[in-house]
Structure 1
Amino acid sequence: MKPRQKNWIKQQYQEQVTKVRNLEQQYQEQVTKVRSLEQQYQAQLEPDSNSKIISHVRQNGSQVGDTENLTNNQQTCKQGIDTVLREMSASLAGLKVDMEYVKKDNEAKTKELDLIKQQYQEQVTKVRSLEEQYQVQEEELITIKAMAKITENHVYALKREGEVKRVAFSASLLDLGSNTFGPFNTFTTLVFRNVVTNIGNAYNRNSGFFVAPVKGAYHFEFYICGPGSPSHLVSAVLVRNGEHIFIATETQPSHLAAAGNAATLLLEVGDVVFIRQYENSRISDSQNRHTTFSGHLLFTM
């Protein structure tokens, strides 16, 4: 039931109650008026009053004639009172009829209101039942979506696994020209920008990081070259997730110095492999591509 309809029913009910109370008040006023007239009538019939009237008549004239006039006056007053009483009785009867009508109408309104309340409660129960059904269906939908997501992820993983079984890359330090890096006072990541091969896109030429796309055994090789110096090494290290694995280093006082190393690593998905230049070392590269970093997936686990 709408709030507006409920307010209208309450307003109608209050109007009927007010109407009944007004009729009761009018009824009481009429009863009071009738009682007042009856008291006046009784006062006219009392002996003391008759004696006073007769004495007054004797002082002003004949006793017989005046007595007859008094009797006539009493009869006229009684007839007037009877007429008023009949009118009042008719009015009271009408009021009683109106009150009965209002009472019946009020009872009908009450029954209608009770019926509306019952229908409202039935609708509330039905709505709650629908809400419970909706909640159950929503939970089932969430479960189905979760299962579908798991299935989708599984399919994607299978597809990805089929793709990532082919992983290989190879890159040199410089893509153009020649340059020497270092010496630095701390370890520095080498970024191999000239990417020759990057099957599976596991190597990032902007960061120098290789990120394992699938769990498996990987093989890595790196070679470095730099100018000989009595005070600076040519040195770099293969790193997995911040852990130094294998180092390649060479020192000689002049000309070029070169070194290299290789490792086979078991990697989890997301493991990071890269090359760090040792502190206080120098590494060079040119169009001859002396400094390189390569790796490939041997097999998945």
Structure 2
Amino acid sequence: MEIMVFFSLLLLVCSVSTNQTEADNEILDQQISNQQAFSQDIHAVLRELTASVAVQKVEIRTLKQENQEQEAKLESQKTEIDQLKLESEEQVAKLETEIDKLKQELQVKQVAFSASLVEQGSRETGPFNTQITLIFKRVVTNIGNAYNKHTGIFTAPVRGVYHFDWSVHGYGNIPVGGVLFRNGEHIFVAYESQTSGSVTASNGASLLLEVGDQVSVRLWEGARIYDNHNHLTTFSGHLIFTL
């Protein structure tokens, strides 16, 4: 009887143990299943994050490229603006130069002078053994400033045809004479000689002058001239037209 009770108890314990093991196994299987599902969820999230990061990287590269293109475009526009500014400044400078040139041409087209030998008092000049350049000191007109009262020389400021007149006065038995020179070239002479009294000689000439050509009156060799407050000995010239 006792043996049968023992076996019954043993069977009961085994049955309980088996049931507990199966229950534990089910719980364990459920936990493993839950962990696998969780792991799958994590992998899915990681894949989504990886894909999102990849997309963001592409977007960043695109934005960076667009930014570089914008910077390049801005730099190109800046270069164009600088070029336009430079061209504008060059155009302004060119216009200013042309305006100054036109002003200068307008001014040099207005050329005229007239002068007499002495400024005040009276004076004889000559005779000399060689020709000397006469310096007409009293300037009454010098439009264009082409005549130099310190040297007696007229310098052409523009290419054109000019007309000159000169007159020399003297007295007594010594000849009076004045020679018009262009650079070193003898052009015309105004000359007169008589035995007594006052004497005047005059002449005129129209000359084609290049820019920088010089015109002056020289005292004739062996001649004597005279001037006083009446301004008897004179030299004048003016531009007729430009060429």
The verdict on a shared fold, with TM-score over 0.5 as the criterion, is yes
Look up the match of 2:232.
290
Structure with the larger strand share: 2
SS at match of 2:232: coil
Give 1:214-233 correspondences, 5 Å limit: 214-229=158-173, 232-233=174-175
> 1:167-186: per-residue Cα shift (whole Å, max 9, x none)?
11110000010011011111
Q: Distance in 2 between matches of 1:154 and 1:210?
A: 27
Look up the match of 2:189.
247
Are residues 150 and 191 of structure 1, via their aligned partners in 2, closer, same or farther at CA, if it must alter by over 3 Å?
farther
Unaligned runs of 5+ in 1: 1-140
Look up the match of 2:102.
158
Look up the match of 1:52.
none
Identify which of 174, 179, 189 aligns with 2:123. 179
Look up the match of 2:112.
168
Q: Distance in 2 between matches of 1:243 and 1:170?
A: 22
> 1:209-267: per-residue Cα shift (whole Å, max 9, x none)?
111111111110000001221xx320110110111111000000111111000001111
Are residues 158 and 262 of structure 1, via their aligned partners in 2, closer, same or farther at CA, if it must alter by over 3 Å?
same
Shift of 1:158: 2.0
TM-score by length of 1: 0.49
Q: Distance in 1 between matches of 2:97 and 2:188?
A: 36
SS at match of 1:161: helix
Q: Distance in 2 between matches of 1:271 and 1:146?
A: 34
Q: Distance in 1 between matches of 2:143 and 2:103?
A: 16
SS at match of 2:104: helix
Q: Distance in 2 between matches of 1:145 and 1:204?
A: 38
Are residues 150 and 248 of structure 1, via their aligned partners in 2, closer, same or farther at CA, if it must alter by over 3 Å?
farther
Q: Distance in 2 between matches of 1:149 and 1:227?
A: 60
Q: CA-atom RMSD, angstroms?
A: 2.3
The more displaced of 149-158 and 249-258 is 149-158
Amino acid at match of 1:275: V
Shift of 1:156: 3.0
Are residues 212 and 147 of structure 1, via their aligned partners in 2, closer, same or farther at CA, if it must alter by over 3 Å?
farther
Q: Distance in 2 between matches of 1:149 and 1:184?
A: 54
Are residues 238 and 148 of structure 1, via their aligned partners in 2, closer, same or farther at CA, if it must alter by over 3 Å?
farther
TM-score by length of 2: 0.60
Are residues 196 and 242 of structure 1, via their aligned partners in 2, closer, same or farther at CA, if it must alter by over 3 Å?
same
Identify which of 241, 265, 272 aligns with 2:207. 265
Are residues 146 and 268 of structure 1, via their aligned partners in 2, closer, same or farther at CA, if it must alter by over 3 Å?
farther
SS at match of 1:156: helix
SS at match of 2:121: coil
Q: Tell which has more relative contact order, 1 or 2 (C-alpha 8 A, sep 6+).
A: 2
Are residues 199 and 243 of structure 1, via their aligned partners in 2, closer, same or farther at CA, if it must alter by over 3 Å?
same
